Amino acid sequence: MDIRVGVAGGGSWGTTVASLAANNCETTLWARRQEDVDDINNNHANSRYLPNLKLHKNLKATTDLAQMVSNADVLVMGVPSVAMRDTAKAIAPILRPWVPVISLAKGLEAGTGKRMTEILGEELPDHPLGVLTGPNLAKEILTGYAAAAVVSMTDLALASRVQDLFSSGLFRVYTNDDVVGSELAGALKNVVAIAAGMADGLEAGDNTRAAVITRGLAELTRLGVAMGGRPETFSGLAGMGDLVATCISTQSRNRHVGELLGRGMSLEDIIKQMDQVAEGVKSIPIVIELGKQYDVPMPITEAVAKVVLQGAPASSAYRGLIRSAPGLELEPESPV
């Protein structure tokens, strides 16, 4: 395929997407650390984030952001949400006109509550924008397990062309024109994943975890629809699919944070031992504000907020749900 893909961000998911694209077309990944770039170019690996896994041999990496951006026919933004605006500002003078820009970040901007494509639209006007999202655990995809994702753009014809760039082997990519719903589903589910992880850390049981996931889906759907997403998007790969994977997988950073909180570890100590961002932690206060703004009840998010933001014990969020006698209704303070 005679298209050049550029990927900004050398974390686990950005690297995985770059490796998938390299199977179909010329692909260059930008990373900040020279040692990561050397590892990709010399060893076809990113040992820092994806140990013991091989990347596509055609993938190239560079620390020169301008070079990568100027050559890209399609640009993928694989940086965390906190870095999205600054990175977009840095590339704005370099990016050629009308180059499609695809976001991978599943977060919201602090202070504004804006989605990543909204930020990109402000900093990179006149570029087609989209999001690649779904139940995508990087290590499983690179290992060769089957997986599916959604590329969401308002222009479905363009989305179908972008779709072909990332489809590879057992990695199947679908299209969707509900950018708002697809993007919100990815951001909102991270908070529910923390709640599910807390249930695991507290050994609350599989029934409780299933209840949290189910009611969590209802909660994020209510808010997502109020903000302009379509209900069916939240029952698809971008919504339920991503939520289930993030809530049950030991590879999920957000679930991992919740599990350690459930075991009694402080958030500060948890963050210190992590080398990648758990977007859900940063999203909690933003989601709380959005719930108020759109007048949508957010009981699970509020319960998680008490633990993460106020230091309450995780057991308090599950009062009435941990090995207690059944009743007609759940406790009002419970997250479901």
| 159 phi/psi in degrees, rounded to 5 | -60, -35
The confidence score (pLDDT) of residue 36 equals 97
4 - beta bridge partners? 26
Q: Is 223 helix (H, G, I), strand (E, B) or coil?
A: helix
The confidence score (pLDDT) of residue 101 equals 98
DSSP label of 168: B
The confidence score (pLDDT) of residue 267 equals 85
Strands 147-153 and 171-176: parallel
Please tell me whether the overall predicted TM-score, pTM, comes out greater than 0.85 for this model: yes
Cβ atoms 257, 269 nearer than 8 A: no
Which CATH architecture group holds 181-317? Orthogonal Bundle (1.10)
CA distance 219 to 172: 28
The confidence score (pLDDT) of residue 316 equals 85
In this prediction, the residues of the chain whose per-residue pLDDT falls under 50 are 322-336
The confidence score (pLDDT) of residue 320 equals 55
The CA–CA distances, whole Å, from 73 to 25, 168, 187, 210 equal 11, 19, 27, 43
Which positions are annotated as active-site residues? 189
Got the DSSP string for 229-296? --HHHHTSIIIIIHHHHHHH-TT-HHHHHHHHHHTT--HHHHHHT-SS--HHHHHHHHHHHHHHHTT-
What residue segments make up the domains of the chain, in order of their start? 4-177, 181-317
* Topology adopted by domain 4-177: Rossmann fold (3.40.50)
